[in-house]
Chain A
Amino acid sequence: MTEGLSFAGMAELPVVLVVSQRPGPSTGLPTYTAQGDLHFVLNAGQGDFTRLVVAPGDAEESYFWSALALNLAWKYQIPSLILMDKTLSEGTYSFDLTSVPEVKEETPVLWDRKQPYQRYSDTPDGVSPLAFVPDKEAVIKINSYEHDESGITAEDPQKTKQMNDKRLRKGVFLAEELETYPAVGVYGNKESKQALVCWGSNKGVCVEVGVRLGLKVIQPVVLNPFPAAQFKSALKGIEQVICVENNATGQLARLLNTYNFRVDEKILKYDGRAFGLEELEESVHKKILMKAK
């Protein structure tokens, strides 16, 4: 997967990848569930390039964010990754379509035919207008090798830096746009000073436990570019952060640390099974009591 992902980053090919996690490493428990691939998906593929990573928490969010991921992949000509786990991707759910905001199919930025076509023209937002084969007036050159605006291989230092900057500039605009979407979900008791932080399919069980114990629940749906402003505002007034994850090391906690968000406690389950309600409630209860002492 990684060579194609990195190729899409360099050649600016819009593509959406769905990654459904199972316990690893290697063959692991191939028919069970886990959340062990967050950092793999955030970092897979060599080199620096812009990517979108979203981890929907339920069927509604999967429906909404997969449509948006496709639109954003085309708009910014980047790979979008939808991070799922077995619980979510192989579960069967029903939901009310009208409860999900409508996502309209957007037309990507197309070549206006005013200038000779250049597949990788350097623009203020880094997005090069698209043309499609066959086009009588355009020669379209896609390249995995570093290249100039026309798509011809280039190795000189200025061009290399310029094209790297162009590709990464798209990420800045993508991050700005994402702040206009509900990139971080907030549930439970919004006055609480304690918060459960979760991602992906743990949303359901965490919200239920949060409601039972009177806690706030914070769920980042977008994981890259990380919606730091929304996450910071969700944390306002929170004194204890408990991260709930289906992996052995606390991968979301590690990600949060890189953005200078503190995680006080981790509740980790990595036996291939999803959290049960009572089981999680008990674990959370213990962590809250520890804090109270």
Chain B
Amino acid sequence: MSQIKLETGAQNTWCPGCGNFAILNSVKAVLKGLAEEGFPLENVVLVTGIGCHAKIVDYINVNSFYSIHGRVTPAAEGIKLANPALKVIGFAGDGDTYGEGLEHLIFAAKRNIDITMIIHNNRVYGLTAGQYTPTSPLGFKGRSTPQGTLELPINPLELMLSAGATFIARGYSGHLDLLKKIIKEAVMHKGFALVDVLQVCVTFFNMYEYYNKKVYELPVPSASGGLSGKDHYPENYDDALKKIREWDYNSDGPIATGIFYRKEQPTFEEHFLKQLGERALPSGGQSSPFLAERAGQVCLAAKIKEVLEKAI
């Protein structure tokens, strides 16, 4: 496995200093790690929406689905359902998925489908040269709001927690090591995982200086079990909510990064396959002719057949 080539040869057109480089490097490191551990990379599908973030799939030599604005989540869900053996990682912008695609995100969290969503949250529409997004702070002066916005941002992590997401984390493009660690955990999580990455747009909303002052890492309980009283336990819903509410994307509060919340729960595709199996096997455990007939051609049918055979 020494010859994992993740580069495509496509010319990178992000601005120098763009926070997207940190996400690209983190994801490549995570994919390399997966391959080295024996996970076949042909089982990975990367999905993007539209925006600067979406170019990431041009720079990674792995199966990809460059979809349309706001539709990263449903495309990722569809791919996962068509073949639950795949690892599906969605990349989306804040405008892309906290704006137009928000309802998809809520429903994916609600049904706990096993996909990972990495949000390139630069809090501005960068590709279209600087308009406000759902996470821009109050008073943000952009191309569409020259006198400043008149509305408060949403706190997407609070929304995701209430919607039922089973893995919620925040990373920062200025802290690469933690970002890699979080993305790895998110990809390995069984269930719906959301990583909100404070990804700085150097050209239209340069927040490096501000984030460098405010961002801190959630203290992880130490292996020795020393209870400092300050450690964060991501299994605890109330603690997660408290930490998520510490900063509302508008106030001047401290900005926690790390894993806020993590919970093991049955996934949507597990329920889906079970129901499909029950319907396809009305009596006596015989596979339906439809599934058998298509198994040779279409991976969906092949996969379902395989799952059904295992289940019998």
A interface residue numbers (CB < 8 A to B): 3-4, 7, 107, 132-136, 138-145, 147, 151-153
26 contacts between A and B (CB under 8 A): A3-B68, A7-B68, A132-B298, A132-B299, A133-B63, A133-B299, A134-B40, A134-B42, A134-B83, A134-B299, A135-B42, A138-B42, A139-B61, A141-B57, A141-B64, A142-B65, A143-B64, A144-B66, A144-B67, A144-B68, A145-B50, A151-B64, A152-B8, A152-B58, A153-B10, A153-B66
Chain B, residues 76-101, CB within 8 Å of chain A (1/0): the string is 00010001011000000000000000
Additional A-B contacts beyond A133-B79, A133-B299, A153-B58 (10; CB < 8 A)? A133-B45, A133-B63, A133-B86, A134-B63, A145-B54, A147-B66, A151-B64, A152-B8, A152-B58, A153-B55
A152 to B63, CA, bound (A): 11
B interface residue numbers (CB < 8 A to A): 8, 10, 40, 42-43, 45, 50, 54-55, 57-58, 61-68, 71, 79, 83, 85-86, 297-299
> Mostly helix, strand, loop or mixed at chain A's interface?
loop
Q: How far is the CB of A142 from chain B (nearest CB, A)?
A: 5
A285 to B64, CA, bound (A): 60
> Known interface pairs A133-B86, A152-B8, A153-B10. Does A139 touch B65 (Cβ–Cβ under 8 Å)?
no
Which residues of chain B have C-beta atoms less than 8 A from A107's C-beta? Answer: 297
A135 to B68, CA, bound (A): 25
Which residues of chain B have C-beta atoms less than 8 A from A132's C-beta? Answer: 298-299
Which residues of chain B have C-beta atoms less than 8 A from A147's C-beta? Answer: 66
Identify the interface centre among B57, B64, B66: most chain A CB within 10 Å of its CB.
B66
Contact A7 B58 (CB under 8 A): no
A143 to B67, CA, bound (A): 7
Q: How far is the CB of B14 from chain A (nearest CB, A)?
A: 13
Q: How far is the CB of A241 from chain B (nearest CB, A)?
A: 42
Identify the interface centre among B50, B63, B64, B67: most chain A CB within 10 Å of its CB.
B63
Contact A133 B42 (CB under 8 A): yes
Instruction: For the complex of A and B, list the 7 residue pairs with the smallest distance between their C-beta atoms, beginning with the closest.
Output: A134-B42, A143-B66, A142-B65, A134-B43, A140-B63, A141-B64, A132-B299
A3 to B101, CA, bound (A): 13
Contact B66 A141 (CB under 8 A): yes
Which residues of chain B have C-beta atoms less than 8 A from A133's C-beta? Answer: 42-43, 45, 63, 79, 83, 86, 299
Identify the interface centre among A4, A144, A147: most chain B CB within 10 Å of its CB.
A144
